[in-house]
Amino acid sequence: MEKIILQTKQLVKTYKADSPSPVYALKGIDIQLKKGEFVALMGRSGSGKSTFLHQIALLDRPTSGYIAIKGVDVSELSEKERAEFRLKMLGYVFQDYALIPELNLYENIALPMMALGKKKKEYNKEVLEIIERVGLHGREGNLPSELSGGEQQRVSIARAIVNKPDILFADEPTANLDSEAAAVVLNIMRELVDEYGQTIIMVTHEPDDKKYVDRAVWLKDGKLQSSQ
Ligand code: ADP
Ligand code: MG
């Protein structure tokens, strides 16, 4: 039996719930993600993709409904436990890379290790391996401003996986990239799934990205449409 790593039941998110004009962003989402699966979350702008990702990635709290990650009902976690869960078990990649401009490539990638209180001698080998893995060997000392958009996104992927997260969440990771740089990023994500069994859920509105993933699900007006 395939292992379910993340599950939602009747997940609802309403923004401005107490105002005269509430926004019903998620209207009851049921989904199951399997371990080692690469899932694309598709849909038009405003369909609720980022909202859904933020709820399941523990970056926000839903209005109602159930989310379990590795069998843990995350609504039961305190803020401190959620922070620890994010740092140890989840990885994030955003459209705008979200790198620290003052830190070089190596330091940006090592940041989650430092946040866990690890020493350089404990993480150095791993960080260098990951830099090699994303094809940026030799660029360790460069600042983000000295890298192309595609290279910056590869740094953000490296940072997201350095702690070996159970799930990698990516919100339109290739939206700001030209098609060549986008293909490099998507191929790296595919290889992480094939080589390490990384679980990835990626928001995209590019239908062609389907060829990189195991399954695509569509959101429309806050509801899950179909799965294939
Ligand atoms: P997508 O990522 O698919 O473009 P979003 O999840 O960003 O869609 O947005 C879904 C709906 O929720 C939209 O109508 C959007 O305007 C609304 N929305 C998103 N974030 C907020 C917020 N913080 N406050 C109020 N409404 C929001
Ligand atoms: Mg979005």
pLDDT of residue 2: 75
pLDDT of residue 205: 87
Angle among Cα 170, 174, 178 to the nearest 5 degrees reads 170
Atom 23 of ligand 1 has which residue's CA nearest to it?
15
pLDDT of residue 1: 59
Per-residue pLDDT of the chain (228 residues; tens, 9 = 90+): 579 999 999 999 999 999 999 999 999 999 999 999 999 999 999 999 999 999 999 999 999 999 999 999 999 999 999 999 999 999 999 999 999 999 999 999 999 999 999 999 999 999 999 999 999 999 999 999 999 999 999 999 999 999 999 999 999 999 999 999 999 999 999 999 999 999 999 999 898 999 999 999 999 999 999 654
> Measured between alpha carbons, how far is 126 from 13 in angstroms, rounded to an integer?
38
Count how many domains the chain has: 1
Atom 12 of ligand 1 has which residue's CA nearest to it?
25
Distance 114 CA to ligand 2 centre (A): 30
> Measured between alpha carbons, how far is 24 from 109 in angstroms, rounded to an integer?
37
Domain containing residue 149: 4-227
CATH number of the CATH domain containing 165: 3.40.50.300
- Give the binding-site residues of ligand 1, using a 6 Å CB cut-off: 15-16, 23, 25, 43, 45-51
Atom 21 of ligand 1 has which residue's CA nearest to it?
15
Q: Which pairs count as long-range contacts for 172-178, CB under 8 Å and 24+ apart, including other chains?
A: 172/95, 172/203, 172/204, 172/205, 173/93, 173/94, 173/95, 173/202, 173/204, 174/204, 174/206, 174/209, 175/95, 175/204, 176/95, 176/96, 176/149, 177/149, 177/150, 177/153, 178/150
Distance 134 CA to ligand 1 centre (A): 32
